[in-house]
Amino acid sequence: MHSPPPPNIDTFAGVLRQTRLAAIVRGSDPDAALRTVLTLAEEGVALVEVSLNTTDALGVIRRASAEVGPGTVVGAGTVLTEGDVSRVQEAGAGWIVTPALTEAVAASVRAGLPVLAGALTPTEAVAARRAGADAVKLFPASLGGPAYLKALRDPFPDMPFVPVGGVDLAGAERYLAHGAVAVGVGSPLVGDAAHGGDLTALRERARRFVALCAREAQEEA
């Protein structure tokens, strides 16, 4: 087990570009969800999102934020309202993820929290950036796949897209090859760990994803 050094990058978008991976934890067992976050951190995942759909999500965020090393930042996902933003910030979340363009985007900007804002269409992606989003969560990415990201990148070559939704290891490689700054990965990485499942299997999956993303980042550098 190890605790990775903190990414030497000043901006949230820079951390995404350097690490290429955001893990998404969503589970029914708070203790298992906490163990999942800590295991991902130990395996070198720098950005770990705890979805508010997780049982006792605020408690998990609070405990995880206090226990992870400096190499990992715990964020909050499925953030919808201004009240959600206040609650997760109080719990210690260091970044915000929204599934759509909700009031939480502007609230996160006002709170000084980096935000990955959910969008699917070109209009929504532009609106997300104009609202102050640090990057655009392309969701659900599975609807159009890597080919859709490639099509979006033609008119928006500098848009920081992070595909989320059904992204497995092979899909992550394709999305990154098509210009995604990072990928957001839930069940293909986390599996059943946040419900009390096997942490050894989680470690093995995490190592594969971290190795792939590190390789992709090095190739672009």
Q: Pick the closest to residue 25 from 82, 64, 67 (CA basis).
A: 64
**Residue 219 pLDDT class (50, 70, 90 cuts):** confident
Q: Pick the closest to residue 128 from 99, 153, 88 (CA basis).
A: 99
Q: What is the three-class DSSP state of 85?
A: helix
pLDDT digits (tens, 9 = 90+) for 98-133: 999 999 999 999 999 999 999 999 999 999 999 999
* Domains in the chain with CATH codes: 12-220 (3.20.20.70)
Instruction: Write down the catalytic residue from 42, 103, 124, 137.
Output: 137
- Residue 150 annotated among the catalytic residues of the structure: no
Instruction: Write down the catalytic residue from 49, 103, 124, 204.
Output: 49
What DSSP string describes 8-39? --SSHHHHHHHH-EEEEE--S-HHHHHHHHHH
Q: Do 119 and 111 form a contact (C-beta atoms < 8 A)? A: no
pTM: 0.94
- Residue 219 annotated among the catalytic residues of the structure: no
The phi, psi pair for 158, rounded to 5°, reads -100, 5
pLDDT digits (tens, 9 = 90+) for 73-100: 999 999 999 999 999 999 999 999 999 9
